[in-house]
Amino acid sequence: MVYYQDENVLIRDLEPSDARIITEEEIAQGWHQSIEKYEARLRDRDAGKCVSLVAEYRGGVAGYINVYPDAKYGAFGNRGLPEIVDFGVLEKYRNRGIGTKLMDAAEKIAAGYADTVYLGVGLHSGYGSAQRMYVKRGYIPDGSGVWYGDRPCEPYAPCENGDELVLYLSKKLK
C-alpha cells in the first residue's frame, strides 16, 4: 500500500527485501545492527500487530517507521494507545523532509486507532535529531521519568546510556 507519494518520496509498506538493504546501510553507517530487528517487524506486521512503513527517496530505500496500534510496552502500554516504534532515516538521506513525511504517515495511521500516540526516544546524542523533531511536532514527556529495559528506572539506580535508556513522549492527535 502507498501512504504518500510526491516527485521524490514514496512511503509504502515495508517489504522483506527492504530489511537487508536497511541493515546493510546502517552497518555501513557504523551502527551495530542486525537484520533480525527488521524481520521481527515483518513478522509482527504479518500477524496484524503493527503497520511497518518504508520511505524511498528517488527509488532508494531511505527510512522506516512502525506503528503498533495497541502497544503492550512502555509508559502507555496496555492502554489501547498506538506506539511509534523504530523510526529512522539513513544518514545519507537526512535533511530532505523524509523523516517528517514518515512521521506524518505514522501519525495518520495512529489517529485511526486513538486520539493519542506515544513513543520512546533514546537519551544519548545519537538520538539528538529525533529528540528535537519530536519536540517540534508537539510530543511531551509523559512524566514517568526515564525508562531502562522496559520499566521505569528508579532514582539513582545504575543504568547504561544505550538504546534501552528512553524517555516516553506522547502527542494528542485530535
Residue 114 has what pLDDT?
Answer: 97
Domain 2-172 sits in CATH at: 3.40.630.30
Residue type, 33: Q
For strand 60-68 and strand 9-13, is the pairing parallel, antiparallel, or unpaired? unpaired
Domain residue limits, the chain: 2-172
Residue type, 67: V
Residue 32 has what pLDDT?
Answer: 83
Residues of the chain with pLDDT under 50: none
Residue 20 has what pLDDT?
Answer: 96
172-to-118, 140, 168 alpha-carbon distances in Å: 9, 10, 14
* Segment 81-111, tens digit of pLDDT: 999 999 999 999 999 999 999 999 999 999 9
54/48 Cα distance (integer angstroms): 17
Cell of residue 8, nine digits? 521524490
Cell of residue 105, nine digits? 504517515
- Looking up cell 500477524 gives 47
